[in-house]
């Protein structure tokens, strides 16, 4: 389980307290801060005495008990961690992390059925908890049921569109084990914007480059083929007893498949004039794609929050640098040469990017089921 920010440090006490109580709470907070540092350094056992002292100072603070359960989990004392976590489930102020960690104790001790049950109980209590959909999807990945796994990651993206890990998992599966790679490249780019500076970011950067390279092929001087989707199904829903008027109304509401009806044709247009797939050609292609997507009317009919952000990047004069950053791990040598030749351009992009971020809301969120 990935180490999450301390619940204790995230949750501060609100309200007016007596001076003596404030003093004890402050002492407890200092001990928890020290304990969390020890846990982050892999010294979970050494953190336990500090956490117990903090609990004595601030006995009503369940955040401290959660931190102790995490320390016990790190020590692989799953039974002790589980006993403590079970008592914390009724404290909604602790949020879904209690269910996540409790499920992890079952999973890591060899009880996947109880882990799944725990994650699902957590989802019922916290239906917008992206981390619980993530854990539930990972359970399906362990038994190689990638379709079910993707379903949970999709639900997590729908429920918590700013939580990056579901995009990461979905991007990996779509690109590596399905024919619907269009969703992989879209989710992968969203992930990199939400988590722009980790080892996982570098992993997805290479995955995106490799996917572009494998799914775009050239033949002769003018032949271009793109293959990011196999879905060509068009579904029409209407009441057959309602007559031809109902059918005509249904036909007007048809949406062509995003991958084969929108993304691939637009990408094919944007690739005109290119003869290879590399960082430079992909940067030019992505620029033209953005223009073509709008010129062809897709942005009005099929708006995509990621493309809105790309236009913001372009308007600020940084689209080339953004594209090179996005795909840099696919060809580090080419990226290093570009950066050396464009040092000022790269610096200005980095400064701008540190202050301007992709923001996804309930209104503009992007996921497969929406398109």
* Chain segment 322-363, per-residue pLDDT in tens: 999 999 999 999 999 999 999 999 999 999 999 999 999 999
pLDDT at 236: 47
pLDDT at 7: 56
Apex CA 316: angle with CA 310 and CA 322, to 5°?
50
Question: What's the rounded Cα separation, in Å, for the pair 168 and 318?
Answer: 24
Continuous segment of H or E residues that includes residue 65: helix 62-74
Low-confidence ranges of the chain (pLDDT < 70): 1-22, 232-255
Which residue, among 169, 252, 256, has the nearest Cα to 207 in the 3D structure? 169
- Cα–Cα separations (whole angstroms), residue 278 to 24, 104, 146: 60, 42, 30
pLDDT at 307: 97
pLDDT at 15: 44
* E runs forming strands in the chain: 216-219, 223-226
pLDDT at 253: 52
**Total residues found in the chain within this entry:** 371
Are 245 and 230 within 8 A, CB to CB? Answer: no
Beta partners for residue 216, in sequence order: 226
Which residue, among 274, 269, 335, 333, has the nearest Cα to 297 in the 3D structure? 269
With 0-12 / 13-18 / 19 or more C-beta atoms within 10 angstroms meaning exposed / middle / buried, residue 148 is middle
pLDDT at 250: 42
Beta partners for residue 219, in sequence order: 223
Q: What is the mean pLDDT of the chain?
A: 90
pLDDT at 11: 53
């Amino acid at each position: 389980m990935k180490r999450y920010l301390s619940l204790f440090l995230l949750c501060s006490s609100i309200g007016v307290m007596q001076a003596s109580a404030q003093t004890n709470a402050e002492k407890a907070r200092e001990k928890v801060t020290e304990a969390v540092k020890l846990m982050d350094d892999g010294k979970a056992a050494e953190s336990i005495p500090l956490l117990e002292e903090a609990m004595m100072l601030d006995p009503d603070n369940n955040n401290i008990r959660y931190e102790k359960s995490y320390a016990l989990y790190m020590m692989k004392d799953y039974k002790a961690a589980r006993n403590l976590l079970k008592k914390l489930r009724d404290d909604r102020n602790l949020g879904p992390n209690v269910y996540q960690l409790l499920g992890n104790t079952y999973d890591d001790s060899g009880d996947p059925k109880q882990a799944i049950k725990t994650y699902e109980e957590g989802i019922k209590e916290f239906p917008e908890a992206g981390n619980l959909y993530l854990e539930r999807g990972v359970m399906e990945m362990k038994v190689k049921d990638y379709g079910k796994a993707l379903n949970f990651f999709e639900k997590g993206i729908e429920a918590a569109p700013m939580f990056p890990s579901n995009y990461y998992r979905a991007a990996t599966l779509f690109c590596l084990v399905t024919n619907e790679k269009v969703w992989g490249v879209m989710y992968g780019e969203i992930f990199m914007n939400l988590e722009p500076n980790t080892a996982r970011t570098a992993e997805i950067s290479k995955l995106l480059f490799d996917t572009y390279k494998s799914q775009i092929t050239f033949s002769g001087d003018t032949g271009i083929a793109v293959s990011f989707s196999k879905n060509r199904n068009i579904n029409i829903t209407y009441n057959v007893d309602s007559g031809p008027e109902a059918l005509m109304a249904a036909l007007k509401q048809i949406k062509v498949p995003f991958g084969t009806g929108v993304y691939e044709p637009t990408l094919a247009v944007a690739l005109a004039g290119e003869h290879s797939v590399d960082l430079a050609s992909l940067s030019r292609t992505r620029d033209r794609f953005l223009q073509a997507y709008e010129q062809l009317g897709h942005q009005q009919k099929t708006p995509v929050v990621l493309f809105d952000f790309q236009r913001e990047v372009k308007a600020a004069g940084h689209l080339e640098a953004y594209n090179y950053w996005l795909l840099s791990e696919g060809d580090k040598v080419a990226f290093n040469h570009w950066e050396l030749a464009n040092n000022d351009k790269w610096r200005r992009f980095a400064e701008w990017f540190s202050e301007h971020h992709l923001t996804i809301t309930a209104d503009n969120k992007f996921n497969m089921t929406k398109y």
